[in-house]
Structure 1
Amino acid sequence: MKIRALALFSAAAALMSVQAPAFADAALAQAKNCMACHAVDKKMVGPSYKDVSAKYAGDADAVKKLAAAIQKGSTPGKGNWGPVPMPANPQVSEAEATKLAAWVMTVK
């Protein structure tokens, strides 16, 4: 019985450790005002994080590109996501932008 309980506890702990970073980075996205224009699973002013992740899947430079867009914004008409450009977000540090971009790429 103790072995079964230990196995269940270990499995639950492993699942929680996989989920914890996603929640932490969603909290960072909320704190940095990203959620004012984006949502995890639906288009708002900007694309959903699921759509961004799908678009950049397989792109080795995705995190770098997304982190730059988070900090510097995007230019309208460059084929990004439509007519509304993403504004620069100067309150996000380079490390935070990289963390946010890496999280976005995990959203499925």
Structure 2
Amino acid sequence: MKRLLWMCVAATVLVSNGALASEALSKAKNCSTCHSASARLVGPSYKEISAKYGKQKDAEDKLSQRVLKGSSGVWGIVPMPANKEVSDAEARALVKWIMSQK
């Protein structure tokens, strides 16, 4: 059942790539444990990320890799762990949605 739910969420994101689907994906992949739309939690808010990287041409590629592989030292001392449960397509969908947050 859990696997079916993940497949449905992923399929929804890939088909629609809309804001609601990506928001649901961010919750399903536990991004909201450390990030929120406008307030800094453990990590930066989605709006902060969008503001910092919004004008960079390679932002989607760079941030997708950070979602997948993790990073450290970019937003402070707390590292972002790698997300092995996130596929390349899901990482790109998440980043596109995050970059749309203004």
TM-score, normalised to structure 1's length?
0.77
The answer to whether 1:60 aligns with 2:54 is no
RMSD of aligned C-alpha atoms? 1.1
Partners of 1:100 and 1:33 lie apart in 2 by 12
Aligned-partner residue type, residue 96 of structure 2: A
Partners of 1:75 and 1:27 lie apart in 2 by 25
Partners of 1:50 and 1:22 lie apart in 2 by 14
The structure that has the greater radius of gyration is 1
TM-score, normalised to structure 2's length?
0.81
Give structure 1 stretches of 5+ with no counterpart: 1-19
The answer to whether 1:74 aligns with 2:74 is no
- Give SS of 1:101's match: helix
Shift of the alpha carbon at 1:23? 1.3
Between Structure 1 and Structure 2, how many residues are aligned?
86
State the percentage of identical aligned residues.
51
Aligned-partner residue type, residue 69 of structure 1: R
Runs of 4+ in structure 1 off by over 3 angstroms are none
Could you list the per-position Cα deviations for residues 30-72 of structure 1 after superposition, in whole angstroms to 9, with x for gaps in the alignment?
Answer: 0001000000110000000000000001101111111000000
Give structure 2 stretches of 5+ with no counterpart: 1-16
Aligned-partner residue type, residue 26 of structure 1: E
